Structure 1
Amino acid sequence: MAGPVYMLLGIGLFGLLDAISKTLAEGYVVWQVLLVRFVTILAVVFALRAVRPGWGGVLSTRRKRTHLARALAMLGSAGCFFMAFRALPLSEGYLVFFTSPFFILAFSPWLTGETVPRAAWGWVAVGFAGVAMGLAPGLLGGAAGGIEGYAWAFAGTICYALVFVLNRSLRSEVGLARVLVWPAVLGVAVMLVPGLVNWRTPDAAALALMVANGVIVGVATAVLAEAFRHADAARLAPFGYSGLVWSVGFDLAIWGYLPGWPTVAGAAVVVLACVMSERAAQKPAGKS
C-alpha cells in the first residue's frame, strides 16, 4: 500500500498548491507568484545540496532539448492553471484537468511512436461528452469569466499532458535535481522582468503562501516519485482521480462552494472513460 499512500499524499499536496494559488490570484499577478515559487524551488534545492552534497543527483544531461521542452510545458501548465483558477472553482478546473489522459493518448504516437487502439479513441469521445455535461451550466450561462477559465484550464491540461509524455522519454535519467532545477531556472528567466515590473509588496501572510507554493511543488514532486518507486503506473492511475475529492474539499472549506450535480456527474463519466481508455490502450494488438 506504500505506492497508493504516497500517490494520495502527492495529489493532496498538488490540490493544496492549487488552493493557495487561487487564494493568491485574488490579489497578485501570475508573474509575481510564479517568480517567488521558482526562486524558492532553486533556493531549497541548492540549500539541500549544500548541506548534503550531490543531493538529487547530477544536474547535467545529454537530453537538453527534451528538458527544455519539458520545462516550457511545465511553465505553461503552471501559468495556465493559475489563470484558470482565478475564474473557476477548483472542482470545475479539475474536471477539465481529468481529460489529460486523452491528450496523452493523442501525443503518444507523435512523441513516442506508440499505437493507440480505436477502442481507446471511442472512450476519449465519451470522456469529452462527460466534460461537456459538467461544464454545460457555465458555458450556457455565458459567463465570460467561466468561459475564459475553461480555456485556460484546457490549455494547462494540454501542457501537462506534454509534460507527462516527455517524462516517459526521460525515465532513464534518475534523480530529482534535474526535474526541479531546469524548469525553475526557465521560470525565473521568464518571470523575472514582468514579475518585478508588476511587483506588489505582499504582506507577511501572502509572502509565506508564495514561498510555501515553491516548497509544496518540490515535496509533491518527490512524493509522487516515491509513489512510482513502490508501484507501477497502472496501479496508481486510479488514485490520481482523488484530486476531485481534494478540490471539492478545498472549495467547500475555503470558499463555501459545493459543485452542482452536472459537475459531479460529468466527473464520474470522465473518470470512467479515462480508466477504460487506458485499459483499451494497454491491450495487445488484435484484442477487442
Structure 2
Amino acid sequence: MRGPLLLMAGIGLFGLLDANSKLLAGDFSAAQAIFLRHAVLLGLLIGLRGAFGWPGGPLRTAHPWLHGLRACTMLTAGLTFYVAVRYLSLADAYLIFFTAPFMTLILARVFLKERVPRAAWLWSGVGFCGVMIALAPQLGEGGSLYGFACALLGTIAYAANITLNRSLRAEPGIARLVLWPSLFGVLATGPFAATYWAAPSAVEWAQLLLNGLLAGGATILLALALRHSSPARLAPFEFIALPLSVTLDLVVFGNAPGIEVILGGLVVVLACVMSERAVSRARQGIPPGKA
C-alpha cells in the first residue's frame, strides 16, 4: 500500500494547491502564478544542494527527451488547471479530472505495455459513468465550456505525466524530477509573467510562494508513488480527490455539493474499490470469478 498512500498524500497536496490557486486566479495571471511556482521549486533545490551537498541524487539524465516531455506535460497541467479553477468550482474541475484513471490505464497499456485486467477496465468505465452522472447537469445548465475544456486538457497532461513518471522510475534520486520541469517552467512562463505582472500584497506573496511548496511536495510524492506501484494499480486511488474537492469547496468557498455530485461520487468510490480489487487479484494470480 506504500504507492497508493503516497499517491493519496500527493493528491491531497494537489487539492490544497488548487484551492489556493482558485483564491489567486481572479487577481493574477496563470503565467505569473506558474512562474513563481516553478521559481520557488528551483530556488529550493539550488538552496538545499548548496547547503547540504548533493541531496536528491544526480542532475544528469540518460533520458533527456523523456524529462523534456515530462516538463511539458507538467507545465500544461499546471497552466490549464489554474485557468480551469478560475471558471469552475473545485468539485466541477475535479469531475473532469476523474477521467484521468481511464486515460492512465490506456497510456500504461499502450506505451508501457503493462497488463491491465479486464475487470479493471470495466470498473474504470463504471467510474467514468459516475463522473458523467455528476457532470451532466453542469453541462446542461450552460456551465463554462472553456473552463471544462481547460480541465480536460489538464487531465490529459496529468495522465501523460503519470505515465512518464513510471517510465523514469529506474533513475535514482528525485533532484532531476524537480530540476528540469522547474527550469523549463521558469523559462517558458517568465516573459509572459513579466508582461502581465500584478504587484502582490504581503499575504498574496505568501499564497503565491505557498503554491510552489505545495506543487513541489505533490510532485515528489507522485513520483515516489510510481516507483512503488504501476499506473494501473494507482489509477483508482486518484478518485480520493472527489471528497477532498467537495470538502474544500464547502469549507473554503461555501459551495455545497448537489445531489448529482453525491450520487456520482458514490459510483466513483465503488469503482475505485472494485478496480483495486481486480488489480490486486490479478497480481496474486487469482483467476477472475474465484472467491
TM-score under structure 1 length normalisation: 0.88
Residue 271 of structure 2: aligned partner: 273
How far has the Cα of 1:90 moved from its partner? 1.0
In the alignment, the residues of structure 1 paired with residue 235 and residue 113 of structure 2 have an alpha-carbon distance, to the nearest angstrom, of 22
C-alpha distance 133-235 of structure 1, shift in aligned 2 (>3 A): closer
Q: Which amino acid aligns with 1:192?
A: G
The separation in 2 between residues aligned to 1:124 and 1:3, in whole angstroms, is: 19
Say whether residues 1:217 and 2:177 are aligned partners.
Answer: no
Aligned-residue CA RMSD (Å): 2.7
1:255 aligns with 2:266: no
d(CA) in 2 for partners of 1:4 and 1:67? 23
Q: 1:32 to 1:89 in 2, by over 3 A?
A: same
Which runs of structure 2 are paired with 1:230-241 in the superposition (5 Å)? 232=229, 240-241=238-239
The alpha carbon displacement at 1:137 in A equals 1.3
- Cα distance in structure 1, aligned partners of 2:8 and 2:77: 21
- Counterparts in 2 of 1:121 and 1:243: CA distance versus 1, 3 Å: closer
* Cα displacement string for residues 9-61 of structure 1 (whole angstroms, at most 9, x for unaligned residues): 43322211111111111111100100111111100110000111101111000
Q: Is the 8 A contact 1:95 1:267 kept in 2?
A: no
1:136 aligns with 2:139: no
Counterpart contact for 1:124–1:274, Cα < 8 Å: yes
Which segment drifts farther, 169-178 or 116-125?
116-125
Measured in 1, the distance between the counterparts of 2:226 and 2:28 equals 35
Please identify, of 109-118 and 82-91, the stretch whose mean Cα deviation from structure 2 is larger.
Answer: 109-118
Query: C-alpha displacement at 1:222, in angstroms?
Result: 3.8
Alignment of 1:55-134 (within 5 A): 55-134=55-134
Matched position secondary structure for 2:219: helix
Which residue of structure 2 lines up, in the alignment, with residue 148 of structure 1?
A: 146
Q: Say which of 179, 182, 201 aligns to 1:181.
A: 179
Aligned to 2:44: 44
Deviation, 1:221, is: 3.3
Gaps of 5+ in 2: none
How far apart, CA to CA, are the structure 1 residues paired with 2:21 and 2:203?
13
User: C-alpha deviations, 1:131-187, integer Å up to 9, x for none?
Assistant: 2110111100013x2x22222111111111111111111110121211111111111
C-alpha distance in 1 between matches for 2:253 and 2:118: 42
The equivalent of 2:243 in structure 1 is: 245
- How far did residue 228 of structure 1 move? 6.8
Give the equivalent residue in structure 2 for 1:169.
Answer: 167
Distance 2:108 2:187 in 1: 29
Q: How many residues align?
A: 285
Closer, same or farther: CA 12–109 of 1 in aligned 2, 3 Å: closer
Task: Please report the TM-score for the alignment, with normalisation by the length of structure 2.
Answer: 0.87
Amino acid at match of 1:170: L
SS in 1 for 2:157: helix
Measured against aligned partners, the alpha-carbon deviations of 1:204-256 in whole angstroms (never above 9, x if no partner) come to 11111111111122233344566678x75688766543322322222112211
What residue is the counterpart of 2:188 in the other structure? 190
Q: Provide the rounded CA distance (Å) in 2 between the counterparts of 1:103 and 1:5.
A: 21
Asked if the contact 2:71–2:181 (Cα under 8 Å) also holds between the matched residues in 1, the reply is yes
Find the aligned partners of 1:264 and 1:218 in 2 and give their Cα distance. Answer: 31
Query: What SS class does the counterpart of residue 59 from structure 1 fall into?
Result: coil
Q: Which runs of 5+ in 1 are unaligned?
A: none
User: Counterparts of 1:281 and 1:269 in 2: how far apart (Å)?
Assistant: 18
- Compared CA separation, residues 159 and 4, structure 1 to 2 (3 A): closer
Deviation at 1:113, TM superposition (A): 2.0
- Report the CA distance between 1:287 and its aligned residue: 4.1
Cα distance change of structure 1 residues 278 and 8 upon mapping to structure 2, 3 Å threshold: closer
Name the structure 2 match of 1:17: 17
Structure 1 window deviating more from structure 2 (152-161 vs 114-123): it is 114-123
